[in-house]
Amino acid sequence: MTRPLLEIRGVETFYGHNQALHGVDLDVREGEIVTMIGANGAGKSTLMMTICGVNKATRGSIHFDGTPIHLIPPHEIIRLGISLSPEGRRIFPRMTVFENLQLGTAAIGPAHFDEDVQKIFALFPILERRQSQRAGTLSGGEQQMLAIGRALMGRPRLLLLDEPSLGLAPLIARQIFDTLKELNKNRGLTVFLVEQNANHALKLAAKGHVLVNGRITLSGTGEELLTHPDVKAAYLGGGAR
């Protein structure tokens, strides 16, 4: 079997003396959607930030397409072909929607901008209508679309999404998951997704992992996890019913 696109081995991450990740192992293969679910404070965002190099792994290694990325600064990691749509969206509120999308190409240069921005507008038509509006004035769902659009503008080989459905109406969340599925099918986009909305996220995924207190306690196909009693009880809210 070929080497995975993203290969995480024994990663431990600390905040001061508090250990947030206790040896995480995880693979994401080219063309896959991989989902990780976990409760508040499990360490999901920490893992995302560790992949991107904002938090440094104290132990363990992370390889992207064979390159050891746990040793290099964030902007260099991103330039290798990783985009993140972070927790809380983090769009630039005092810039226009259009400028936010322009910033999305910072890692690759503006050569494909015109072509790609049309694709984003086709995916999220509302962004086209709001393009000269300040991003901070968008609704939460629109901001989430912008964050994902901005991440896609970087033509990533690996798209990292930290709770893309957070705070969204179920309909909008579903729309975003459908979009991801489509991008994965039609363009072969590789996605690593972190979610609390376990139901949607696991349906989408080829593989799923459960993170508890900084450790992966359960792994399997999306289907397997959806029907696993522990997952049902803890994350799908269906255990008791």
Partner 1 sequence: MDYLAQQLINGLTLGSIYGLIAIGYTMVYGIIGMINFAHGDVFMVGSFVSLICILLFGITGSTDIVIGIGILMIVAVIAMAISGVYGWTIERLAYRPLRGSFRLAPLITAIGVSIFLQNFVQETQGARVKPLQALFAGGFTLHEGTEFTVRITYMQILIVLLTIALMAGFSLLISRTSLGRAQRACEQDLKMTQLLGIDVDRTISMTFVIGAMLAAVAGLMYLLYYGVIDFFIGFSAGVKAFTAAVLGGIGSLPGAMIGGVLIGLIEVLFAAYFSSEYKDVAAFSMLIIVLIFMPQGLLGRPEIEKV
Ligand X SMILES: Nc1ncnc2c1ncn2[C@@H]1O[C@H](COP(=O)(O)OP(=O)(O)OP(=O)(O)O)[C@@H](O)[C@H]1O
Smaller CB distance to Mg ion: residue 133 or 196? 196
Contact pattern from residue 115 through residue 154 relative to Mg ion, giving x for each residue in contact according to CB under 5 A and a dash for the rest: ----------------------------------------
41 binds ligand X (CB under 6 A): yes
Smaller CB distance to ligand X: residue 45 or 100? 45
Closest-CA residue to 198 (of 88, 85, 54, 42): 42
132 binds ligand X (CB under 6 A): no
Structure token pair of residue 189: 């986009």
Contact 93, 34 (CB under 8 A): no
Closest-CA residue to 82 (of 30, 162, 158, 6): 158
Q: Tell me which stretch binds Mg ion (CB under 5 A): 82-90, 99-107, 120-128, 147-155.
A: 82-90
Size of the site for ligand X (CB under 6 A): 13
Contact 146, 97 (CB under 8 A): yes
Query: Restricting to residues 92-131, which ones interact with partner 1 according to CB under 8 A?
Result: 92-95, 99, 102-104, 106-108, 110
Q: Which residues fall within 8 angstroms of residue 227, CB to CB, at 6 or more apart?
A: none
Q: Judged by CB under 5 A, which of 25, 30, 65, 87 binds Mg ion?
A: 87
Helix, strand and coil content of the chain, in percent to the nearest 5, comes to 40, 25, 30
Minimum Å gap between C-beta 18 and ligand X is 6
Question: What is the β-pairing status of strands 59-64 and 6-15?
Answer: antiparallel
Contact 7, 160 (CB under 8 A): no
Q: Tell me which stretch binds Mg ion (CB under 5 A): 30-38, 85-93, 179-187, 196-204.
A: 85-93
Structure token pair of residue 234: 């803890």
Q: Measure the CA–CA gap between 90 and 6, rounded to whole angstroms.
A: 24
Q: Tell me which stretch binds ligand X (CB under 6 A): 34-42, 114-122, 185-193, 217-225.
A: 34-42
Four-point Cα dihedral 86, 92, 98, 101, nearest 10: -30
Select from partner 1, Mg ion, ligand X, none the partner in contact with residue 106, using the beta carbon and a kind-dependent cut-off of 5 to 8 Å. Answer: partner 1
Q: Measure the CA–CA gap between 222 and 209, rounded to whole angstroms.
A: 9
Q: Tell me which stretch binds ligand X (CB under 6 A): 41-49, 75-83, 145-153, 179-187.
A: 41-49
Q: What residues make contact with ligand X under the rule CB under 6 A?
A: 15, 18, 20, 38, 40-46, 87, 196
Interacting residue ranges for Mg ion, rule: CB under 5 A:
44-45, 87
Residues that bind partner 1 (CB under 8 A): 52, 54, 73-75, 78-79, 84, 86, 90, 92-95, 99, 102-104, 106-108, 110, 150, 154
